[in-house]
Amino acid sequence: MKILITGKGGREHALAWKAAQSPLVSKIYVAPGSAGMTCNLPQVQRVPINDTDNAALVHFAKTEQVDLTLVGPENALVNGIVDDFRQEGLSIFGPCKAAAQLEGSKLFAKQLMDKYGIPTARYAVFSDYEQALSHVQREGVPIVIKYDGLAAGKGVVVAQTEEEAVLTLQAMLLHSRFGEAKVVIEEFLQGPEFSLMALVHGETVVPLSVAQDHKRAFDGDKGPNTGGMGAYCPVPIISQKTIEQAVKTILQPVATAMVAEGNPFTGILYGGLMLTNAGPKVIEFNVRFGDPETEVVLPRMKSDLIQTILDLLNGKKPILEWHEDVFLGVVLASAGYPEMATKGSPIEGLENVNNLVFHCGTENRDGQWLTNGGRVLFVTGKGKDVAAARENAYMAVEQIHCKDIFYRRDIGIQSL
């Protein structure tokens, strides 16, 4: 089989690595991919097409007779890549444009959860600044303000003070550069967060191993929110009972609701969930593999990912097998991330590392690895528990040297 994977980061490297283990797969195209993905995987070939160029990707998949396409980043999904592929009779694993709204529009997700009684934070929606302001004054802080639409660099603000809430509303509603702006204002929830992804096809929901990522840039959950600075899987503080409850009260009802709404969901449904005193509640949905969660979840998966997806698409409910080990990974990020990122700094010592390393943002010039993005490398470790996996991962991290890289030293520590 020929597989096409869109995207170029650590998540896509992990997808290519996992697909390469399948005996069904002879060729893996990555568009646009990165040099790091091809160095240990002879089946992988880069294709110079941007992951948001839906028309060129359709054309390529048709011409090369690609058997299955996996989509990395969300933008293409929200822009209807799945609809475009299906129209041409091409097989692709992801949600259609209408179903991708679960991630693309926070309001769509909230309204669906409301209608079907899926547990999430109470919310109200505003496009008028004055009304939003009086709502915040009535409800008090802390309060959560979310821009409606793909984050576009603004995203989510957990306002701890009224002043912060006012500034956020001004920025999102009065000074918006995105036309008609809307915000969702939410009740502040408390509890440990976890990421529960599931393979979904219509009403069939197959949960993956639970993971947790670390969103803040610096140790002790300080600093700005990032795409994620590390992750581990599974998560000891999230019990099997909680996972079953989350599937029963959240993931399965969402899949069923999407079918009932005439927009059946196919692909990865990612629940960003919080374990509150009243049980798991939804913080957000994503409609694709999480990054960096995928880089620890796929190494823990024993089953063949490609066979699993094919079974699911053919109407069979796959039963997944997992390794016993805990997997943990640390992001090495460029100095300045997430605001800006330095590029072009030499990375030394990669060749001494035997652990699984995924390339998030590197390039290779004449055999020399260089930084080339905000998140640069994802270094994994494994062990019988989180402590052992941490130790194993950080031993590998210490082999790698680059003057413009930083990383968190406390990945997985809260759970020990």
Selection from ligand AMP, ligand GLY, none that 133 binds (CB < 5 to 8 A by kind) is none
160 HSE (CA, 13 A, CB side): 0
Contacts of 62 (CB under 8 A, 6+ apart): 88, 90
User: Minimum distance from CB of 256 to ligand GLY (Å)?
Assistant: 24
Beta strands in 341-409 (DSSP E): 343-346, 357-359, 362-365, 368-372, 375-383, 405-406
Among 116, 129, 188, 394, binds ligand AMP (CB under 6 A): 188
In the chain, % helix, strand, coil (3-state, to 5) comes to: 35, 30, 35
DSSP letters along 350-368, please?
A: GGG--S-EEESSEEEETTE
Q: Show the tokens assigned to 102.
A: 């679960």
User: Minimum distance from CB of 71 to ligand AMP (Å)?
Assistant: 20
User: Minimum distance from CB of 398 to ligand AMP (Å)?
Assistant: 29
Tell which residue, 313, 310, 270, has the closest CA to residue 289: 270
Contacting ligand AMP within 224-253 (CB under 6 A): 225
Asked if 79 contacts 54 with a C-beta cutoff of 8 angstroms, the reply is yes
Q: In terms of CB distance, is 142 or 202 closer to ligand AMP?
A: 142
- State which residue has the least CB distance to ligand GLY: 290
Three-class DSSP labels, 198-246: EEEECCEEEECCCEEECCEEEHHHEEEECCCCEEEECCCCCCHHHHHHH
User: Minimum distance from CB of 215 to ligand AMP (Å)?
Assistant: 5
Among 150, 158, 353, 388, binds ligand AMP (CB under 6 A): 158
Stretch that binds ligand AMP, among 31-39, 187-195, 240-248, 249-257 (CB under 6 A): 187-195
Selection from ligand AMP, ligand GLY, none that 307 binds (CB < 5 to 8 A by kind) is none
Query: How many residues form the binding site for ligand AMP (CB under 6 A)?
Result: 15
Cis peptide before 338 (omega within 30 of 0): yes
Contacting ligand AMP within 204-223 (CB under 6 A): 215
User: Minimum distance from CB of 312 to ligand AMP (Å)?
Assistant: 26
Q: In terms of CB distance, is 186 or 293 closer to ligand GLY?
A: 293
Selection from ligand GLY, ligand AMP, none that 383 binds (CB < 5 to 8 A by kind) is none
Asked if 105 contacts 112 with a C-beta cutoff of 8 angstroms, the reply is no
Point out which residues bind ligand GLY (CB under 6 A).
Answer: 213, 228, 286, 290-291, 293
Stretch that binds ligand AMP, among 26-34, 150-158, 364-372, 407-415 (CB under 6 A): 150-158
3-state secondary structure at position 77:
helix
Q: In terms of CB distance, is 29 or 270 closer to ligand AMP?
A: 270
Q: Decide if residue 272 touches ligand AMP (CB under 6 A).
A: yes
User: Minimum distance from CB of 212 to ligand AMP (Å)?
Assistant: 11
Q: Show the tokens assigned to 329.
A: 């990974």
User: Minimum distance from CB of 375 to ligand AMP (Å)?
Assistant: 16
Tell which residue, 408, 356, 40, has the closest CA to residue 213: 408
Q: Show the tokens assigned to 382.
A: 């494994």
Q: In terms of CB distance, is 186 or 213 closer to ligand GLY?
A: 213
Nearest 5 degrees, angle CA 49-CA 96-CA 293? 70
Residue type, 414: Q
Among 20, 30, 90, 283, binds ligand AMP (CB under 6 A): 283
Helix (H) / strand (E) containing 330: strand 326-334
Selection from ligand GLY, ligand AMP, none that 144 binds (CB < 5 to 8 A by kind) is ligand AMP
Contacts of 22 (CB under 8 A, 6+ apart): 304, 305, 306, 307
φ and ψ at residue 29, rounded to 5 degrees: -95, 140
Q: In terms of CB distance, is 98 or 283 closer to ligand AMP?
A: 283
User: Minimum distance from CB of 184 to ligand GLY (Å)?
Assistant: 17
Among 53, 219, 221, 284, binds ligand AMP (CB under 6 A): 284
User: Minimum distance from CB of 213 to ligand GLY (Å)?
Assistant: 4
Q: Angle 10-20/305-313 helices, nearest 10 degrees?
A: 90
Q: In terms of CB distance, is 290 or 374 closer to ligand GLY?
A: 290
Q: Decide if residue 296 touches ligand AMP (CB under 6 A).
A: no
Q: Which residues would be at the binding site for ligand AMP (CB under 6 A)?
A: 121, 144, 155-156, 158, 186-189, 193, 215, 225, 272, 283-284
